[in-house]
Amino acid sequence: MNFLTGLIISTGLVILRLNVLSASYQCGTRKHGFLPLLYRGWKVEEGQWPWHVAIFFKQPLETLKYQCGGSLLSEKHILTAGHCVVNRKTSAPRPKEIFELHLGQHNLSEVTDLVQIRDVSKVHVHPEYSTLRNDIAMLVMRLAVAYTDYVIPICIDQKVDRDLRNLEGDRGWITGWGVTESGNVSDVLWTASLSVVSYLSCTKNDPVLFGNLLNETVFCAGDLNGTSPGPGDSGGGMYFYDGDRWVLRGVVSFAKVDPVTKQVDTSKYAVFANVQR
């Protein structure tokens, strides 16, 4: 049993409920489509990725600081990256009171009537978490969300026998409010598709970075063409279209940052936590 399945069961959520919701809202099925291609990604329409969540840290004077993305799994469960929710010095989970979750949000600077805001009641981090492996955590919301055209959960890929090698060459989708090429966090949600690459290709791309990292808990993706997740995109999901619905297979973990420019090095592949491990 993997971390995600075990945690879902331990928190009282039947997996079947993730995939069968109602006649109106099925997991992984969205109500909105794509807009034209933009530089380094696609502009996102409201409701295009209804399972994507904005995770904020509460600051003094009732202000908020955007921290990471996440993926809605059920009325109360959100999957994100472990490094998004832990104290970097101690690796201990941050207090639940610090989190504020926004679901259905499109523009970070605007909270419309479509946005549902929730507090967190529990923070679960993978027991074998490190910043390089098992970079997964789950947030449990204090109050359940209401499903709408703009808030719908993503399906969990339950094909436990699916080898990561079968994903090689497939294109997954990421979305987020990450840092743009100008160095600022994007106010508007963006999206891009990346190709999954083999462990061998990833290791050859940067033997020092990836040589001792790669195992079944992670995978690499990218096209080395200027498109890559960056700071602020962490914790968001990597989604694949599986016939008639979208499924979650990865969580944005990290991408190499150029020490000189302080920007993501898009000549290197990005690393994703494998949610099935």
| Cα distances (angstroms) measured from residue 24 to each of 63, 74, 92, 124, 164 | 36, 15, 39, 30, 32
User: Within 10 Å of residue 173's Cβ, how many Cβ atoms?
Assistant: 18
Catalytic residue among 102, 106, 126, 135: 135
* 149 in catalytic set: no
Catalytic residue among 77, 234, 253, 265: 234
Catalytic residue among 52, 71, 77, 83: 83
* 198 in catalytic set: no
* 135 in catalytic set: yes
CA–CA distance, 186 with 103 (Å, rounded to integer): 17
Q: What is the CA radius of gyration of the chain?
A: 17
DSSP 96: G
Contact 52, 236 (CB under 8 A): yes
| Cα distances (angstroms) measured from residue 52 to each of 9, 73, 163, 266 | 22, 10, 25, 23
Q: Which residues are catalytic?
A: 83, 135, 234
